[in-house]
A and B are shown apart, each in its own frame.
Chain A
């Protein structure tokens, strides 16, 4: 039956109330269209998407034996699925139903010219008739689903997603780049607006993930390669060399205690120290150390080896090599999180050279009871308790000319929290906050900011133009826009609420996963409103700050959302495949392999024996790049074929 197109086409023109009919003369459209050869039936109706409208279409499909349907109404992005579903109930293959977009791309855009809009509407329908005449009935294929998930990134988002999926009864592999899961939340002191301790709420979840029978944590590991497709991914993971045999290590910590090398601890933002063999913090999960080869004396000079001597179980393995493993999973959640925009990038705020100008994450470590100062707020330069602290919001955020154009969303709230906690710790202390606007949208957030103000935090509306060292003070020069006066404060310490940026390396991971990111490097969601946890690659979902800046409750909610998507995927034995993909006509294919090289999804291979290209239907996303590249027109994009497009072009001339 190849090449036999549906001939009897029905056209249903929608008024959309006055949205279309108020501009386009729908009667004339129906009249003009009815004259065309392949149109078996045409009608108009006030609201085609309504129940009676849909019923009318179904009735006409049965009555007239329609082989193709065109609904001339809104954009296909809105109601294509609605009408396809309705038509299939009446026995018509859903892929023989098309939308002619005469609302968004005609009536609404040419409201002042009804005559031309009417003519344009007729032409739009005429092109769609050409397409529909060649539409083939298509059937969805199916693929099996491997009910095993991978979560990349073990911050609070990754932990929550892993727990949700594991609790639903599915296996989860949680891949974490650092030696321990926990992410940035483990660094925080207390969380707004309730002031509950971050560690107290996070560590039970870390332990739950660490001990869950369905969760396998691969810490100190990174995903290097992903192949396959939804339901059937293969992920290549590098288990980095830790220098410690974790299967033998008991986590006693003796090696860390005896190691003679001290270096600034990343976990404490450089304010504390760690050893060359270290685990980032005491509650680490897994609680196993790694050796920092750059600083370890054994690797640098071939001597020391104290850790090896003190380890009672002989777990130190200096010659350990990285291990490459492969894991097969059906779905992947990416939760790689954020970094803090470096304060070194802001010259007018001291470019990171003033010791008492620190970023907000470092201040969290000063506030934290497990931090380098055991929770006492002491400034880095001389350990003095600061009497005046200036907090600078929007440091690097909302600055499209020089830094990041976006709002980092959580800074207003954590700055209020930090200022309040400082006030609680140092009663006589004077916290000042420079702000542009206060963005406190969220449950009990506005009240929290009000509380900070009531308890003595001084808010100054304006930007800071310069920060410099003057004697043992740090001078902050800005403007108070409410008083319309310059503002200058000699502070003991300055805390910069730096912008959030996507985690370092997330662009490399993006390429590995074949997903997209916006211009700021944050992952792009499948739809900003209707599918905020999906990606453009089916089976890969997003959670946390890698997608956009957000606070802990939103992160946890999104992680549970992503986990819900995975669980729903796993609730089925097989998945349906979009049939609007590309096929290869073997008789026309010359086996040149051009399509193999242009395919962005590796959905093509060349059959060396038959000398023809073969499509992996599960990998093909139907972009049509191969069709444009094929010199023999052997690639046929189903229902977007070259023949169809050329006939549509014809209809326009």
Chain B
């Protein structure tokens, strides 16, 4: 494991739960590695599979999707839709030769700042173990 490797993680966070949870982590001054770049989406169910693919093909080392807990979706069922898509995406990633372990999905509520920070730390550690995403190198051949 290369200690100097700084993973780049693209995070798609649902506006109502996980994005607000990330805000709470900050407000509570809970520290976590600065590797995630957050893109706010209205709902985890609005995360199109192409977003995930695009991020990984463009060289992101990991993709994180955060949504509301089961039953808590602001839009009733968006988080379930996301869950189904993620399962599907993992198998697609495998066929493309990308490690499915680069794709993360968690339920994090607006009140779970600590859980958000812990998840970010966990993702950073795990992606570091996986190493850099070499997909982009293949494109540049």
Contacts and interface: CB of A to CB of B under 8 A. Distances in A.
A111 B55 contact: no
A639 to B, nearest CB: 10
Given A120-B37, A652-B37, A109 B26 contact: yes
Interface string A32-47: 0000000000000000
Nearest to B43: A623
A359 to B, nearest CB: 28
Contact of A625 (B27, B46, B136): B46
Contacts of B96: none
Interface in A486-528: 514, 516-519, 524
Contacts of A470: none
B91 interface: no
A650 B41 CA distance: 16
Nearest to A621: B75
B5 interface: no
Given A112-B31, A598-B81, A624 B42 contact: yes
A623 B38 contact: no
Contacts of A637: 42, 46
Contacts of A109: 22, 25-26, 29-32, 34, 117
A365 to B, nearest CB: 35
Interface string A316-358: 0000000000000000000000000000000000000000000
B39 interface: yes
A406 interface: no
Contact of B31 (A110, A516, A624, A628): A110
Contacts of B10: 649, 652
Task: Report whether over half of chain B's contact residues are helix, strand or loop; otherwise say mixed.
Answer: mixed
Interface stretch (A99-107, A165-173, A194-202, A224-232): A99-107
The interface size bin for chain B is: 35 or more
Contact of A105 (B31, B38, B47): B38
Given A104-B23, A524-B72, A600-B76, A645 B48 contact: yes
Interface string B64-97: 0000010111111110010001000000000000
Nearest to A625: B45
A514 B76 contact: yes
A536 to B, nearest CB: 5
Interface in A84-102: 101
B98 to A, nearest CB: 14
A637 B38 CA distance: 19
A117 interface: yes
A472 interface: no
B132 to A, nearest CB: 12
A623 B23 contact: no
Contacts, number: 143
Nearest to B70: A519
- Pick from A101, A109, A120, A127 the residue with the most CB of B within 10 Å: A109
Contacts of A105: 22-23, 26, 38
Contacts of B22: 104-105, 109
A107 B34 CA distance: 10
B55 A108 contact: no
A107 B10 CA distance: 18
A113 B59 contact: no
B58 interface: yes
Contacts of B6: 116
Given A110-B31, A518-B72, A649 B26 contact: no
A430 interface: no
B72 A646 contact: no
Nearest to B63: A649
B40 interface: yes
Contact of B58 (A120, A621, A629, A653): A653
A203 B18 CA distance: 46
B23 A625 contact: no
Contacts of B27: 104, 108
- Pick from A517, A623, A625 the residue with the most CB of B within 10 Å: A623
A600 B77 contact: yes
Given A108-B29, A517-B71, A625-B45, A124 B23 contact: no
B60 interface: yes
A419 to B, nearest CB: 36
A611 B6 CA distance: 49
A253 interface: no
B40 A76 contact: yes
Given A109-B31, A514-B76, A646-B54, 4 more contacts: A600-B75, A600-B78, A623-B74, A637-B46
Interface of B: 6, 8, 10, 19-20, 22-27, 29-32, 34, 37-43, 45-51, 54-55, 58-60, 69, 71-78, 81, 85, 117, 136
22 contacts: A75-B19, A76-B40, A108-B27, A108-B29, A124-B37, A516-B74, A518-B72, A519-B69, A524-B72, A600-B76, A623-B74, A623-B75, A624-B43, A624-B46, A625-B43, A640-B42, A645-B48, A646-B50, A649-B51, A649-B55, A650-B58, A653-B60
Interface of A: 75-77, 101, 103-113, 116-117, 119-120, 123-124, 127, 514, 516-519, 524, 536, 580, 598, 600-601, 621-625, 627-629, 637, 640, 642, 645-646, 648-650, 652-653
